[in-house]
Structure 1
Amino acid sequence: MKSALSFTINFINMKKIISLLLSTILLVFFCSFCTNNDDSNNAKTNTYVLVHGAWQAPYVWDAVRADLESKGNKVIVVELPGHGSDQTPTHTISLEVYRNKVTDAISKAGGQVILVGHSMGGMVITTVAEQVPATIKKLVYIGAFIPVSGQSLGELAMTDPGSQLGPQIVESADHLTLDVKRESLTNLFIGDGSPAMKDLVMTNYRPEPAIPFGNKVTLTVANFGAVDKAYIKTANDIVISPSLQDKMIASAGIKNVYSVNTSHSPFLSQPQAVSALLLKIAQ
């Protein structure tokens, strides 16, 4: 009787021990899974700084920003002086002023950023990369200008016989702003966009400050040359032709090249494609 009782007690104790061990194993596995999952999410989290181009403003990034943020990323959209609601006097605006606005935004980001520029914004992010290369994880051009040292945007644009923009530009009498003929605006910038997107571009249109178009850049191999770069080509672009895009990509030595089958403003006509590529480039 005593032996049977002892066996029963030992059996019960053994069951408790086994149950405790199983619970411990499951707890360790669950905690490990949560940790790994958190690490995975953290690894995918980046800070994007988005810089718009000429005759545009921060609104063009709205859909891309929303998509990137929905996937856990931080997004900073820069409003360049003289664009959107900014009322900086046109005669005070230069490429250096643009650069300083972007570097200030980066300084508040709290770490390295993925710096993205479109069109004229390519000139801006290029000068930023020269100024603060260590703050940039990736430099991404989207249908954007990439100058060589000593070159201005105006000079670079003149090398593009495939562009249809030049004849549609009207300079103001005081030489401080550049207008695009309204009847050509949406065809140039978003020919493949929806009527709603075309209306958005027309509604938010402002003449472009002219002085930055003549400002030359100074670039070095040690700074600008050391930053990791990628380019997203706009394959149906009639503002910056694919031919000029290819030449600039080759000149800058960019190896990571992607393409979207859009006109000049892919973030308006195909925002999901743009955000997907930005996420891919960040990996």
Structure 2
Amino acid sequence: MRIDRIADTDIRFQRNGAGDRALVFVHGFLDDQYVWDAVIAELGSEGVETVHLDLAGMGERTDASGPFTLDRFASEVGAVVDVLGTPAVLIGQSMAAPVVELVAAARPERTLGLVLVSPVPLAGTRLPDEAVEPFRRLGGDPQAQRALRQQLSTGLGEADLDRLAVIGGRVRPEVVRALVDCWNAGHPDGERPSRYLGPVLAIRGADDGFVTEDMVADRVLKRFGTGEKVTVDRAGHWVHIERPAAVAALLDALLAKAHPVGDRTRSVRPQQWISAFAEKSAASFAKAFAEDVVLEGSALTRPIEGRGQVEQVMEAASDIYDSLVFTREGSSGPHTFLEWEATAFGGTQIRGVTILTKNERGRIVRAAIHHRPLGAVLRFSAELRERLRGRIDPANFLADDR
């Protein structure tokens, strides 16, 4: 175990183990970094470094000054991720779920996956004042905090409740109020689809009376499109403390899937193409393309040539997808092969392979995009034709005449 520090800040983080991947754990409301110790102890994956830290105002940083906002917390966690030097799975509990999503959206190239434990929506819980005021009054009242935790997590033992009450009781009352307003109001990015397109796992305790099943499905995972949800029995809001072995097993499974041992393919690496899909803008695609880029695909009757036209097609195409996740990557010389899974048109499943060819400067000179199944290809092409009418010759696209 070693302690590292972000230069010129009060941010310190604990590192355990070593490897070519990392798990970064971020605690929730009124907690500290050590709430993850039991999960870390249960992990079975090899070649993985574990990292955790205290957010400003909590844990060993109760003297920190404000502001206490999601953007501030994401900046702190992002600074830690930046110095690790390895791709990471980001794990956040409760109010930290929005934090790790913001970090992942800003650093897709460094993020192997997101694990959202008892996740508060990025858009906030939006509780009315009469419902949220009891949370604001928790500052300086360890017994009230203990009672709340016991109500929301019946699986917490007496020792756990005592320890958590001590940790939370140290948080200054004005900070408690600011934190409540932070997770209740949420972040503007929560009003639109997530900018992070990689793997997402939401873990919820079956007895959680605060983060409900509907909240996870409708207000959290729906923004990601294809995220996975797992419900853990005999656990509530602090499922990582109540059932640490179950949470650790889920993390081990995610790591095995994201970085298969002995596989000739690998997790998807950082590159402008993937970032452009997250941003869904022509300007972002333009940064990846050479001036003479050529686009081919199963949804096209003939190639599209030139950066100006190709970036328009790609912007329109990326906006059609409800969700898109790049799942596997391989390479050979100047060629990169990307497998992906997507949904469009309110739930139609689409799979495909993209082949990118780059020049010596790293710019894409040829992109070949192959969709399946055929019905989805026809509909996708017809939709592109309509969206690009007046800008791209309609003869470049197929007609859905089914």
With structure 2 as the length reference, what TM-score do the two structures score?
0.50
Q: Offset at 1:282?
A: 1.5
Aligned to 1:227: 198
Give the counterpart letter for 1:92 in structure 2.
Answer: P
What SS is found at the alignment partner of 1:204? helix
Q: Offset at 1:138?
A: 0.5
Q: Offset at 1:60?
A: 0.8
Larger displacement relative to structure 2 (252-261 or 127-136): 252-261
| Residue 218 (str. 1) matches residue 189 (str. 2) | yes
Structure of greater Rg: 1
Question: Equivalent residues in 2 for 1:60-209 (5 A)?
Answer: 60-68=35-43, 71-147=46-122, 151=123, 153-155=124-126, 157=127, 166=132, 168-171=134-137, 181-182=144-145, 184-205=147-168, 206=171, 207=173, 208=176, 209=178
Q: Identify the structure with the greater helix proportion.
A: 1
> Judging changes above 3 Å, is the alpha-carbon distance between structure 1 residues 250 and 154 closer, same or farther for their aligned structure 2 residues?
closer
Structure 2 Cα separation of the partners of residues 222 and 167 of structure 1: 30
Structure 2 Cα separation of the partners of residues 186 and 222 of structure 1: 31
> Judging changes above 3 Å, is the alpha-carbon distance between structure 1 residues 272 and 45 closer, same or farther for their aligned structure 2 residues?
farther
* Cα distance per residue 1:237-283 (max 9 Å; x no partner): 01212221221223431332222111001111111111011111122
Structure 1 Cα separation of the partners of residues 208 and 232 of structure 2: 10
Q: Offset at 1:69?
A: 7.3
Larger displacement relative to structure 2 (261-270 or 59-68): 59-68
**Maintained 8 Å contact 1:68/1:74:** no
Aligned to 2:23: 48
| Residue 269 (str. 1) matches residue 242 (str. 2) | yes
Structure 2 Cα separation of the partners of residues 216 and 178 of structure 1: 27
**Structure number with higher relative contact order (C-alpha < 8 Å, ≥ 6 residues apart):** 1
Unaligned runs of 5+ in 1: 1-43, 159-164
Aligned to 1:4: none
Residues matched between the structures, number: 226
Q: Identify the structure with the greater strand proportion.
A: 2
Aligned to 1:245: 216
Root mean square deviation of aligned Cα: 3.0
Runs of 4+ in 1 over 4 A off after TM superposition: 69-72, 177-180, 219-223
**Maintained 8 Å contact 2:45/2:255:** no
> Judging changes above 3 Å, is the alpha-carbon distance between structure 1 residues 280 and 185 closer, same or farther for their aligned structure 2 residues?
same
Larger displacement relative to structure 2 (183-192 or 242-251): 183-192
| Residue 257 (str. 1) matches residue 229 (str. 2) | yes
> Judging changes above 3 Å, is the alpha-carbon distance between structure 1 residues 243 and 109 closer, same or farther for their aligned structure 2 residues?
same
Structure 1 Cα separation of the partners of residues 99 and 25 of structure 2: 11
Give the counterpart letter for 1:277 in structure 2.
Answer: L
* Cα distance per residue 1:41-63 (max 9 Å; x no partner): xxx96310011111211121011
**Maintained 8 Å contact 1:141/1:230:** yes
**Maintained 8 Å contact 2:68/2:182:** yes
Larger displacement relative to structure 2 (223-232 or 105-114): 223-232
